[in-house]
Amino acid sequence: MLYSSVLALLGAVAVSAAPVQPFINGTKLPDSSVKQAGGAPPNGPPPPTLSQTAIGAFQLANFLENLESNYFQTGLYNLTQWGAGAVGGVDNVAFVGKVAGQEEVHVATIEKLLSHFNATTLNSCRYQFPVTNTHDFFALANIITSVGIGAITDLASSLAGSDPLLIQSAASIITVEARHDSYFRMTAGEVPNPAPFDIRISGAWAYNLALPFVIPGSCGALPASMTSIPVFPPLSVVPAGPPPFAPNTPPTTITFSVDETKMPAGYASKPLFIGWVNQANTVIYTPVTVQGKGVLNSDVPQTLNGMAFAALTGQNIAPDVGTLTTQTMAGPAPVPFS
Ligand SMILES: *[C@@H]1O[C@H](CO)[C@@H](O)[C@H](O)[C@H]1NC(C)=O
Ligand SMILES: *[C@@H]1O[C@H](CO)[C@@H](O)[C@H](O)[C@H]1NC(C)=O
Ligand SMILES: *[C@@H]1O[C@H](CO)[C@@H](O)[C@H](O)[C@H]1NC(C)=O
C-alpha cells in the first residue's frame, strides 16, 4: 500500500487493528505507485529475443520481487502502527513508502518483460514474516534485501552469457536495492557500507532463503523453472530469535541446528563443513563438530564482513557458490557479521 493511501486510511480512522493485506499486482501498476516510486518501468523497446535461461531466471526474480513487494507494502502499513523514527532527517515511513513503490515497479518491469515473450508471470504468494516491531522489521528488511541483491547479481552474471542487452536493467535494479539496504542498516546505527563487494548467491539459494516466509501451497502453480529448483533442509542459527542485525562483537563460533528427520541417514558420520560465502571471494570452509542430534558447531572465519551466507556441506573444495549449491546438504542461513 502506498504511503499516501496509508495516510488516507489513517485519516479515516476506520482502520482496525486487523492488518490489511494490500497487494498491488505488477501488471496493473497504478499511477500512484509510479509516482511514489519516482518512475515507471523502462519505456524503451524490449530486446529482440529472450533466452529460455533468462526466462527461468526472470521467473525466479519475479518470485523474489513479489515477496519483497509484499514485505514492504505490508510493512509500510505496520510502521504507521508501530511508530517509526527517522534516519538523517528522512522519515522511515516516507522512505519505506518509496521502497514499496519501487518494488512494485520492479515486479511490473519483470512481468512486462516475461509477458512480452509470452512467458508465465508469477502470482504473488501469501507470506508470513516474523516481525512485530520496527527494529525487527528493518533487521529482516536487511536480510531479505541482501538476498535480493545476491540473486540479482547472479541474474546479471547469467545474462552476460545469454542476454547481454538485459544486463543494464538488472544492474540498475541492484544499485537501488543497495540504497535500500544502506538505509536499513543505518536504522540500527550500522555503517551503510560494511564491505567493498556485495555477494552473489545462486538462484537455488535465493529460493531456499525465501521459502521460510512463503505460506506453503499459497503460490498456485509454479512454472517448471521454479519447481525444478532443489529444496534443502533448513540450517538454523542457535539460539533462534527475531531477525538480527550484526552483533557488536562478531562470534568466533556458531552453533547451527538441522532437523535430523529431513537429513539423509548417516549424514553426521562423515566429515561435515560449513561453507561461508561472503563478498566476491571463494568459499571459506570450516569443519563442523557434531554436538548432539542435529546440533552442529563450527568456528567462524574472522574475515567476514557485512552479510554472509552459510551452508552445511560434506566437502571443502567447491570454490564458488554455484558449485557449493550442488553440494549443499542444508541451508543456506543468512548470518550478518558487521
Ligand atoms: C505486519 O504486522 C503483522 C501483524 O503484527 C505481522 O503478522 C506481519 O508479519 C507484519 N509484516 C511486516 C512485513 O511487517
Ligand atoms: C506471443 O503470443 C502472441 C499471440 O499468440 C503472438 O502474436 C506473439 O508473436 C507472441 N510473442 C512472442 C515474442 O513469441
Ligand atoms: C493479484 O494478486 C493477487 C494476490 O497474489 C492474486 O490472487 C490475483 O490473482 C492477482 N490478480 C491479477 C489480475 O493478476
Tell me the C-alpha distance between 31 and 330, whole Å: 43
Tell me the C-alpha distance between 82 and 73, whole Å: 15
pLDDT averaged per 10 residues, the chain (length 338): 37 34 61 93 93 98 97 95 92 97 95 95 95 97 98 98 95 98 98 98 98 96 97 97 95 97 95 98 98 97 97 98 98 98
Residue appearing with cell numbers 533448513: 234
Q: Whose CA is nearest to atom 1 of ligand 1?
A: 78
- Give the pLDDT confidence score for residue 24 in this predicted structure: 57
Residues with CB under 6 A from ligand 1: 19, 71, 74-75, 78, 129, 131-132, 137
Report the nearest atom of ligand 3 relative to the CA of 124.
5
Q: E strands of 241-306, at which residues?
A: 253-258, 273-277, 284-292, 295-299
- Give the pLDDT confidence score for residue 84 in this predicted structure: 78
Closest ligand relative to 220 C-alpha: 3
Report the nearest atom of ligand 2 relative to the CA of 118.
1
Residue among 66, 74, 99, 133 to mutate when testing ligand 1 (max atoms within 8 A of CB): 74
Tell me the C-alpha distance between 183 and 94, whole Å: 12
CB of 118 sitting under 6 A from ligand 2: yes
Q: Is 264 exposed, middle or buried (0-12, 13-18, 19+ CB in 10 A)?
A: exposed
Measured CA to CA in angstroms, residue 71 lies from 115, 130, 190, 194 at distances of 24, 11, 22, 24
Cell of 310: 552459510
Report the nearest atom of ligand 3 relative to the CA of 123.
5
- Give the pLDDT confidence score for residue 27 in this predicted structure: 62
- Give the pLDDT confidence score for residue 204 in this predicted structure: 98
Tell me the C-alpha distance between 23 and 107, whole Å: 12
Closest ligand relative to 55 C-alpha: 2
Q: Do residues 328 and 311 make contact, with C-beta atoms less than 8 angstroms apart?
A: yes
CB of 46 sitting under 6 A from ligand 2: no
- Give the pLDDT confidence score for residue 17 in this predicted structure: 35
Question: What percentage of the chain exceeds 90 in pLDDT?
Answer: 90
Give 151 Cα–ligand 1 centroid separation in angstroms: 24
Give 49 Cα–ligand 1 centroid separation in angstroms: 40
- Give the pLDDT confidence score for residue 153 in this predicted structure: 98
- Report pLDDT digits (tens) over 210-264: 999 999 999 999 999 999 999 999 999 999 999 999 999 999 999 999 999 999 9
CB of 23 sitting under 6 A from ligand 2: no
CB of 117 sitting under 6 A from ligand 2: yes
